[in-house]
Structure 1
Amino acid sequence: MKWFACLRALLGPDPAREKGERGENQVAARLAEKGWFRVKGLCLRNLYLPAGENATTEVDMIYLTRKGIYVIESKNYTGRIYGDEDRPQWTAAVYAGRGWLGRVKTEKHSLYNPIWQNAGHMRALSRLVGPEVPLWSVIVFSGRCRLADVRWDRDDTAVCRVEELPRVLRKLGRGKPLSWREVEDLYRRLEPYTQVSWFQKQAHIRQVKEKERARRGR
């Protein structure tokens, strides 16, 4: 509706969200390339899944295959990424020029542990599809970044750059426990969660900001 467009124009752009969408677009473009992965699947983006009473969780992307569902969390960062599966905060160290003595300066930015973040997405998705459907967590960093020191031990999880995604999808998850008909059925069941109203999206954004404020206040 026209008044929706006017309201969104008045509110102005959300730079953080636009940056995230650029990262998602890079991953989605790779998924759309036929034969690139050698893992046939169906893709859904921006799913708003129920996560408790009056709450939702937004999943960047899922890739449904006969090996199960890859739950993809896209991160669009530059610089060097440092993180550990067991620590709540990770760090992005960005080059910030040189000082008077020629020393390299860096700016450090923290981000919430994306493995923990995606684990919440997987719990919400599992409640919808059932425990018999295998779920695989994939954290994909796009943009000009380097995974300098990122550690994890979980067998159902991978952290990579977008260029490494083909290898990760082929390696993560073995066998073909689902039929293609089951994959298509899962797609039809989950697709409605991508079709939410603008008001529902705004409610989710408020919820996320409240959680972030509470996390920083600890």
Structure 2
Amino acid sequence: MRVAILTFAILLLIVIILYIFLKEEKDRKLIKTATSLDRGTTSELELVLMLLKANFSPKAIFHDLYLARRDGGYCQIDLVLPTKVGIIVFEVKDYSGWIFGNGDQKNWTQVLSYGSVKHRFYNPILQNRNHIFDLKVKLTQFDRIPFYSVVVFFGNCEFKKLESIPKNVFLCKSDEVIDVVNQIVSNNQPANYSNKLQIINLLRNAVNNGANVHIRERHISDIKKMVSKRRFRMY
């Protein structure tokens, strides 16, 4: 009897492991229809997968973009989703603990260990606002196209006190993001795109920039310099 139970348990474990492996392999193949598995963060790839499973076309998902700026540098945008009502720009964060902040504050606060540990991080609403500004600068027609900023938090975090969230900015947890996107698409009028091909080419070129090692290295170097300047100003 014990041998039979043990054999059944082993077979059940094998089936579970095989199921998990096949599911993950299926998800990897689906993600690869829209982006490369070595691009971005794990949370960004999870968002790509969620959008694909929500029946958004892989051709409409632009992940890990490096948009050239006028000063010769680049801004890195996590994900852009052009839709019939406008362009949704995502900023993806991965935090645990309590999150405090204000839409206009430069920095937000992550609180861990019931208040004994605190970390500051740059306001993701302002961060995504800058990304949208850089996109608008590239094309004049962007002034006539609605933009929607979606800041999505992955990880085991809790929004404790977040105030003054601007209009057309959506702040959510990862399990809410598809509902937010569907809400944006359902509750707004169709956008007046004058040249869709121009937009697609711009976004595609920005994605291709991210495959360039030199561009990524320069962006990382620029970020380190910027962070160093911010720390210097604090003292």
Same fold (TM over 0.5): yes
Identity of aligned residues (%): 25
Aligned to 1:12: none
Contact persistence 1:47–1:194 (CA under 8 A): yes
Aligned to 1:158: 170
Contact persistence 2:84–2:190 (CA under 8 A): yes
Counterparts of 1:1-218 in structure 2, within 5 Å, are 21-35=41-55, 42-95=60-113, 104=114, 106-129=116-139, 130-172=142-184, 174-178=188-192, 183=196, 186-196=199-209, 197-218=212-233
Structure having the larger proportion of residues in helix: 2
Contact persistence 1:46–1:58 (CA under 8 A): yes
| C-alpha deviation, 1:73, in angstroms | 0.4
Q: Distance in 1 between matches of 2:227 and 2:173?
A: 25
- Per the alignment, do residues 200 and 74 of structure 1 end up closer, same or farther by CA in structure 2, a change over 3 Å counting? same
> Which runs of at least 4 in structure 1 moved beyond 2 Å after TM superposition?
170-173, 181-189
Larger radius of gyration: 2
The unaligned stretches of length 5 or more in structure 1 are 1-17, 96-103
The unaligned stretches of length 5 or more in structure 2 are 1-37
What is the RMSD computed on CA atoms of the aligned residues?
2.4
SS at structure 2 position matched to 1:150: strand
Q: Distance in 2 between matches of 1:41 and 1:176?
A: 19
Aligned to 1:8: none
Greater RCO (CA < 8 Å, at least 6 residues apart): 1
Aligned residues: 189
Q: Distance in 1 between matches of 2:202 and 2:226?
A: 28
Structure having the larger proportion of residues in strand: 1
Q: Distance in 1 between matches of 2:60 and 2:163?
A: 29
Cα displacement string for residues 87-145 of structure 1 (whole angstroms, at most 9, x for unaligned residues): 111111123xxxxxxxx564211110111111110000111233112111111000111
| C-alpha deviation, 1:178, in angstroms | 4.2
Q: Distance in 2 between matches of 1:175 and 1:22?
A: 33
Aligned to 1:5: none
Q: TM-score if structure 2 supplies the norm length?
A: 0.73
Contact persistence 2:148–2:169 (CA under 8 A): yes
